[in-house]
Amino acid sequence: MRAGTSDDNMMLQVSDVFCKRLPKVELHAHLNGSLSTKTLRELANLQKSLSGSDDAVWNIQEAIIEHGQKRTLEECFQLFGIAHSLTTTPAAVYKATQDVIKEFADDGVLYLELRSTPRSVPGVMSKAQYIQAMVDAIQNSTDGQILVKLMVSLDRQQGQESASETLDAVLTAHSQNPKLIVGLDLSGDPMKGSLTDYLPSLAHARNAGLKISIHCAEIPNPDEVEKILDFHPDRLGHCTCIHPLYGGSQELWIKLLNSHIPVELCLTSNVKCGTAESYKKHHFIHLFSVKHPVVLATDDKGVFSTSLSEEYMLTADSHGLSREQLWQMALSSIDYTFASEEEKNQLKDMFLQIKQLSDVQ
């Protein structure tokens, strides 16, 4: 009997098992939105045992009941508050980070860039300690299969003073851990705050050697998109409302395509928040069909009850992609990471070895 070839592989149906086994790269995951129900429960119990109160447990129960349902963007942002109420100490941030890393590793993710907005809690935790807790959790992660990097987020709703505080903390931490802390992200409620307030901090971080990713066009906002593209970040998040069919314009769309900036696409997040009408009508297909660099991502796997394997499966299902197309998409994602060239080459070797093994199975 002859061994299967890549051609045979292309003919095979994409399945859940295939997507789970596919080696994957996750480049857009927010720590507090990625917490599983199990982690939320454990953190709530930990908090209860320390404080004697069970308010947080009630909040979690409500969140779990609603888990996985469609929500407006506004409701999603309320939900982040529940996770935030549980990650208020360095120990909780450490546990949250370790749990999320393990869950991504169990899902076949070989490279993860985890992002989070450092918070200070008076008398308990500074932003620097929040970042350090994540660094420690990444360094002590026992799963040797996954390479993890940290991106620090600025929340566009928190104002310039908070952004420069975060910037100071991240630059200090970056100078101590230059290989581990790789980037700065601008996120937060797109209906609040002004991009221009944060561009100086983003430029400062870029000059200090950090890569930049900006959440872009989650709601129609042509002026802002124009400014983001002129800034030319290393990656863009979402880009939902740039195509003329989805609240953008031909001019902006062409500008995005000409920029060649890789776009992090989170289908379930966009569909569940209602910013994309359906998986089939997601702007993924417009970018994919013109070979614009894209990477599939989960955004908030806890809030949206998804996994990166599911994102690959849903994308293949809705757009008729083959196994080979998924392989190529997963492999090319490595080029869009903020890892070193050496790490990228090692990852590509690993992916290709896994591919060769699966081709002969």
Interacting residues of 275 by C-beta distance below 8 A, sequence separation 6+: 73, 218, 219, 238, 240, 241
**DSSP 8-class letter at 336:** G
Q: Does 215 bind ligand 5GP (CB under 6 A)?
A: yes
- Tell which positions 186-205 bind ligand 5GP, by CB under 6 A: 187-188, 190
3-class SS at 27?
Answer: strand
- Tell which positions 117-156 bind ligand 5GP, by CB under 6 A: 117, 153, 155
Nearest to 31 by CA among 109, 124, 138: 138
Of the two residues 149 and 215, which places its CB atom closer to ligand 5GP in the complex?
215
CB hemisphere CA count around 204 (13 angstroms): 16
Of the two residues 107 and 155, which places its CB atom closer to ligand 5GP in the complex?
155
Nearest to 239 by CA among 213, 203, 205, 201: 213
Joined together, the tokens standing for residue 135 give 């660094």
Site string for ligand 5GP, 23-52 (x = CB under 6 A): -------xxxx-------------------
The minimum distance between CB 59 and ligand 5GP, in angstroms, equals 15
Q: Which of 26, 218, 310, 311 is catalytic?
A: 218
Interacting residues of 146 by C-beta distance below 8 A, sequence separation 6+: 101, 104, 105, 109, 110, 111, 112
Q: Which of 113, 300, 310, 311 binds ligand 5GP (CB under 6 A)?
A: 300
Q: Between β-strands 181-187 and 109-116, what pairing exists: parallel, antiparallel or unpaired?
A: unpaired
Q: Does 299 bind ligand 5GP (CB under 6 A)?
A: yes
Q: Which stretch binds ligand 5GP (CB under 6 A): 140-148, 184-192, 243-251, 343-351?
A: 184-192
Annotation says 218 is catalytic: yes
The minimum distance between CB 224 and ligand 5GP, in angstroms, equals 12
Contact residues toward ligand 5GP (CB under 6 A) are: 30-33, 80, 116-117, 153, 155, 187-188, 190, 215, 218, 269, 299-300
Q: Kindly list the catalytic residues.
A: 218
